[in-house]
Amino acid sequence: MEWVFRNLRFNLKLSGWLPAAAGALGLGAFLVFYTMNHVAIESLRRIIEVVIPLAFGLHAAFVFAPENEPAIELLLSYPRPMTHVLAERLLTISLLYGSVAFVATLFIAINWNGENIGLALVRWISAGVFLGGLAVFTTQLTRQSAFGALLTTLLWASSLYGGNALLKRWPWAWPAHIYLQPENVSLLVYTSNRLILLLVGLGLLALAMLLLRNDERTLGSK
């Protein structure tokens, strides 16, 4: 158990905790604003599913980039696979952002009896896994964090501000809408949308791990 906490602290230091702390402070400020001004529940729910996945995706893009990783040759010389290093850092930031979002979700469930906590969790978990997987895969593919962060931000913004317009033009494109709302479609369509985003995100993470298994590519030899 002591080794687990020591390893968690080490990865937390490498991954960085300030972005997650900033997200927690932002959500905390919004909760205070709610209590003072009685903001609608829809606004609080919306800000969780919009801010947390983006913050997680941007942070995930920077947890491990071969071009920006110090002493990459030294890390590759260790018997421990590089995929384990990436997985541990991702797990660390997942715990950080997941805790922040979960606490905010519980706040909603406690204050509104009619709130479906399962649906509230699904709103941000699927979006977070998808954007995180996209960020990590793009970073490993290009070997630079900036490209992972850029593509993640562009897809996030296009889905947030143009997703509904996309569905009006092409109704069959609902699997690609990150911010599809359950009240706008049937339960089956929304459930399928969340499941597809989750699986695609996990698939992109798996592809990123496969890219990282190639030591020569990680060093930039190919």
The pLDDT assigned to 158 comes to 94
Closest CA relative to residue 85, chosen from 61, 54, 110, 63: 63
Give the lowest-confidence range in 117-121, 191-195, 216-220.
216-220
Q: Which residues, 6 or more positions from 142, have their beta carbon under 8 angstroms from its beta carbon?
A: 148
On the 0-12 / 13-18 / 19+ scale of CB atoms within 10 A, 78 is exposed
CA nearest 132: which of 97, 81, 184, 179?
A: 97
pLDDT value for 14: 46
User: What is the token pair recorded at 107?
Assistant: 């706040």
Q: What is the C-alpha to C-alpha distance for residues 80 and 78, in angstroms, rounded to an integer?
A: 5
> What is the structure's pLDDT at 217?
64
Name the burial class of residue 139, with classes exposed (0-12), middle (13-18) and buried (19+) by CB atoms within 10 angstroms of its CB: buried
Name the more confident of 20 and 192.
Answer: 192
pTM over cut 0.95: no
| Cα distance between residue 32 and residue 40, in whole Å | 13
Residue (of 86, 115, 126, 89) closest to 213 by Cα position: 86
Domain map (residue ranges) of the chain: 2-219
Kindly report the number of other CB atoms within 10 A of residue 105's CB atom.
22
| Helix (H), strand (E) counts: the chain | 9, 0
**Predicted confidence (pLDDT) per residue in 178-217, tens digit:** 999 888 888 899 999 999 999 999 999 999 999 888 766 6
Q: What is the distance between the alpha carbons of residues 58 and 150, in angstroms, rounded to a whole number?
A: 8
